[in-house]
Amino acid sequence: MVVQAVRVNEREVLERFESRTRASARMYREASKVAPGGVMAGIKYFNPYPIFMKRAEGSRVWDVDGNEYVDYLMSYGALVLGHGHRVVKEAVESLLDTMGTTVFGTPTEAELRFGATLRDLYHPGGLMRFTNSGLEATLLSVRLARAYTGRSKVAKFEGHYHGAVDRLLFSYSPDSKRAGDPEAPTPIADSDDVDRSMLSEAVVLPFNDWENTEKILTKEGKDLACVIVEPFEEGVIPGELGFMRSLRNLTRDLKIPLIYDEVKTGFRVRLGGATEFYAITPDIACLGKIIGGGLPIGAVVGDANILAQLEPSREGKAGVFHSGTFNGNPLSVSVGMATVNALRQPGAFDILRKRTDDLKRAISSELSVRDIPHRVMGEGGMFNVYLTPNPVRCYRDITNTDLRLRRFLDLELITNGVYLKPANRYCLSTAHTAEDIRATTEKFSRSLDVLTSQAAS
Ligand code: PMP
């Protein structure tokens, strides 16, 4: 049962939002005639319409109406140094000068160096491959695991997202009523194109529930090609340490490749992602977002025997074919390398953590003084706020939080100059200053005051 702490006057929240974002509304109407929903990716849409941005600097973004925001979207966490960081600009400019092109279609030293850096951080002694997105990385990891084990079923956790590909697009956001027993969830397709044959090879596990995860893995083990997990659900809800250790041990015993999807957590929870946080090495880690420094990228890093299946020169031998015109393109890998190097400078990650911790504390205290039950969860440079008095350990817990209040609070925040995708997580950057955190806290407080005073009237 969802506990409602505040009854929001939705009409008034929407009126304020709409009165400040008229140019976005106009552009949205036009965009809807070009692209379904006016967006190029489903996630970018929200009700009543998405905000169209046109400029950014550091921690700030400006929309087409000229409104300024402190940005906590950070392009869904991809920008860890903020917008337009000096090293990113320099990397782009110097690349064009020195190489004279954006892409060769051949191997380059840049991809070798950055690939080695990622490999050394996430799977020393292993191998890696670049892709163009997080989704391509998770897809490749599953293909590798299927070929390696000769098994076909894929196990994932309920509520975990691994990209819009039919093999992994199930039980990400199922309707709890249809999703069956929380201890043994039913696979539910998240998209109409996912066919029955995919679902018959899908196994859904309950996150942070070892007893039942163990039961399902033991039963299905001999048919499982892999277990893929977001080590922090939604990037912020941690797998409990005992759970993560048991998962590693059992998958090793059953010879099931364990895949950490670190697309959100890589370089954000820690420099070495959840892999470093737990000191547990999966067989494969998938990376994306931050490692492109704001340009498209993905990577698969892992066990040398599993990755060796990709060797193109295995003439006559079975192998896994993987290709892509832009894989490891010089622009993405150079900007990614510059970003990772900047983040590895002494103190840089500490600043990111400190600002994030300060904002987490401030938000929690603003909610507490108004008696709004909440949980603020996350590690490193990212967190989320769940409006509930109860612990949040898995997907079903999230469905029992007050998502409606959260959504209207976030619309009110946008009206007051704090940008995040409504109901999504907060991602910070090294560009966020102490002043940004102070200003955000004030705006957060003002937004809550507006919502609660309306509720009382
Ligand atoms: N895995 C996770 C955990 C993600 O958060 C995402 C994207 N949000 C993806 C995979 C897919 O990445 P991309 O959007 O780069 O394809």
DSSP 82-150: -BT-HHHHHHHHHHHHHHSSS--SS--HHHHHHHHHHHHHHSTT-EEEEESSHHHHHHHHHHHHHHHH-
User: Which residue among 43, 44, 135 is best mutated to probe the pocket of ligand 1, counting the most ligand atoms within 8 A of its Cβ?
Assistant: 135
165 alpha carbon – ligand 1 mean position (Å) = 11
Task: Report percent pLDDT > 90 for the chain.
Answer: 94
141 alpha carbon – ligand 1 mean position (Å) = 13
Helix (H) or strand (E) holding 298: strand 298-302
Q: Would you say the pTM of this structure is higher than 0.75?
A: yes
User: Which residue among 44, 161, 284 is best mutated to probe the pocket of ligand 1, counting the most ligand atoms within 8 A of its Cβ?
Assistant: 161
Question: Looking at the annotation, which residues are catalytic?
Answer: 161, 261, 289
Task: Report percent pLDDT > 70 for the chain.
Answer: 98
- What's the confidence (pLDDT) of residue 164? 94
- What's the confidence (pLDDT) of residue 7? 84
CB 172 within 8 Å of CB 159: yes
456 versus 287: the higher-pLDDT residue is 287
Say yes or no to pLDDT of 389 above 70.
Answer: yes
CA distance 254 to 256: 5
At 193, list the tokens.
């194109």
456 versus 282: the higher-pLDDT residue is 282
Say yes or no to pLDDT of 128 above 60.
Answer: yes
At 200, list the tokens.
């018959």
CB 312 within 8 Å of CB 64: no
**pLDDT band of 10, cuts 50, 70, 90:** very high
Span 277-293, average pLDDT: 98
Q: What angle do CA 3, 211, 260 make, to 5 degrees?
A: 85
23 versus 316: the higher-pLDDT residue is 23
Give residue ranges with CB within 6 A of ligand 1: 76, 133-135, 138, 161-163, 230, 261, 263-264, 288, 298
Span 435-449, average pLDDT: 98
- Close Cβ partners of 235 (under 8 Å, ≥ 6 residues apart): 77, 264, 265, 268, 269, 378, 382, 384, 425
136 alpha carbon – ligand 1 mean position (Å) = 9
CB 366 within 8 Å of CB 445: yes
CB 417 within 8 Å of CB 67: yes
